[in-house]
Structure 1
Amino acid sequence: MDLLRPIAFALATFTAGATQAHVSIQPTTAAPGAYQVLRFGVGHGCSGDATTAVTIRIPPGTLAARPQPKPGWTLEVDREGDVVRAIRWRGGPLPADQFEEFVMLVHLPERAGPLAFPALQTCGARDTLWGEPTPPGGPRPRQPAPVVTLIPAPPPEGGHDHH
């Protein structure tokens, strides 16, 4: 099953409207090339409807992605060869007045900069795509993609060592 098809469909049919949900990411910064646990938080349902699926698109260049199972939810992993393209948790349902975290371990790309993980939140028959890019210095989009910024470690200070 191609998990990216619903994301592509949501992108193609997205219309701006009032939505009352969001998908966040923690941490928001990490080191390039690191193995990092990422937590995707779903703050609440969609306009009163329960969340029944969460799909996270794995950005190109990510070297590995391993989801953490969640009781009451099934896992689907969309692969292209050895590369994970998307991960979907389906089940729950997560009532609209509750929150939940969906966790994965990723091996991040070596390059520095922002890395977006577009998320598709499904509430019954309705999909909400959290995938709009955030322009540098521009206004925050209405439905931003969860983003982790890869920041290289500062170079060691010159001079001598004080041990």
Structure 2
Amino acid sequence: MTSRTRSTRTLAFAGLAAGALLAVGAPLAASAHVGVTPSDTAAGSYSLLTFSVGHGCDGAATTRIAIDIPESIVSVTPTVNPNWTIEKVKTGDGDAARTSQVVYTAIAPLEDGLRDTFVLSAKLPAEAAGDTLEFPVLQTCTVGETNWNETTVAGEAEPDAPAPAFTLTEASAEGDGHGHGGATTESTSGDASATAAGDSSVAPAAPSADIVARVLGVVGLVVGAVGIALAVITRRSAASK
């Protein structure tokens, strides 16, 4: 085997390996953030907000998740998660009282690499289409913590620890389509609602991260295909000599 053949074959395998790493690693990187997926984004509607946590703090297990509630949302109803205790932190007095934070504390630490979801039922602010709602999350671990509270600005690179957020859309012509009782029942009915909310969290929490992941995935596949092609050409060239 000539040195040229060895170099070409090495390049081919390197390209194949790089493609595989990009194709597999990009989606994993995109899903690393703590994110929120709403069941409805229409202004004035009742929505189930599913917060997903897929990793710890630099390998340490998660023990506490504190979710800040935007001031434009007056109240929320947390869904029971059997692995966590729940505390609703209220601010203000009388009619001005509101839930400003929901805290989930682990009964047993959530190990790094395992995923869990936290579901809140809330009525989204009316006449606020186009506004972005941010829900800063403080993730506390057995060692260290991560404060997911940085604002994502359109057209700029995503920050290292973006706050879970989504943008409100116009209400449908039929209205919000949900009664308060229906939303409350849905958020507190136990396993059925938790399962439904868990399914909704499959959608990516950060659209910008998902786009980057898709682009990197395509690039990875292209690089991998080039590597395979080079390997085939090299083998045919070697066989003909």
Matching of residue 106 in structure 1 with residue 122 in structure 2: yes
Q: Show CA shifts across 1:78-127 (max 9, x none).
A: 10133000000001311102000011101111212110000011112422
Cross-structure match for 1:26: 37
Give the alignment of 1:70-149 within 5 angstroms.
70-80=81-91, 81=93, 82-91=97-106, 92-110=108-126, 111-112=128-129, 113-149=131-167
Helix, strand or coil at the partner of 1:30: coil
Runs of 4+ displaced beyond 2 Å: 153-156
Distance 2:173 2:134 in 1: 26
Cross-structure match for 1:161: none
Distance 2:40 2:132 in 1: 9
CA 154–107 in structure 1, closer or farther in 2 if over 3 Å, else same: closer
Helix, strand or coil at the partner of 1:144: coil
Distance 2:139 2:133 in 1: 19
Matching of residue 47 in structure 1 with residue 58 in structure 2: yes
Q: Show CA shifts across 1:35-66 (max 9, x none).
A: 10000000111111110000100001102211
Distance 1:40 1:76 in 2: 16
CA 106–48 in structure 1, closer or farther in 2 if over 3 Å, else same: same
Cross-structure match for 1:159: none
CA RMSD of aligned residues (A): 2.0
Distance 1:119 1:90 in 2: 13
Report if aligned partners of 2:85, 2:105 keep a CA contact under 8 Å in 1.
Answer: yes
Query: For the pair shown, which has the larger CA radius of gyration, 1 or 2?
Result: 2
Report if aligned partners of 1:35, 1:107 keep a CA contact under 8 Å in 2.
Answer: yes
Question: Of the two structures, which has the highest relative contact order with CA contacts closer than 8 Å and spacing of 6 or more?
Answer: 2
| Structure 1 position 155, deviation (Å) | 6.7
Report if aligned partners of 1:24, 1:41 keep a CA contact under 8 Å in 2.
Answer: yes
1:62 aligned to which of 49, 68, 73:
73
Which structure has more helix as a fraction of its residues? 2
The letter of the residue matching 1:48 is: G
Cross-structure match for 1:17: none
Distance 1:74 1:26 in 2: 22
Helix, strand or coil at the partner of 2:161: coil
Which structure has more strand as a fraction of its residues? 1
Report if aligned partners of 1:29, 1:148 keep a CA contact under 8 Å in 2.
Answer: no
Question: TM-score normalized by structure 1?
Answer: 0.77
Cross-structure match for 1:13: none
CA 28–118 in structure 1, closer or farther in 2 if over 3 Å, else same: farther
Distance 1:63 1:105 in 2: 12
Question: TM-score normalized by structure 2?
Answer: 0.53
| Structure 1 position 68, deviation (Å) | 0.9
Give the alignment of 1:148-163 within 5 angstroms.
148-153=166-171
Identical-residue share of aligned pairs (%): 38
The letter of the residue matching 1:133 is: T
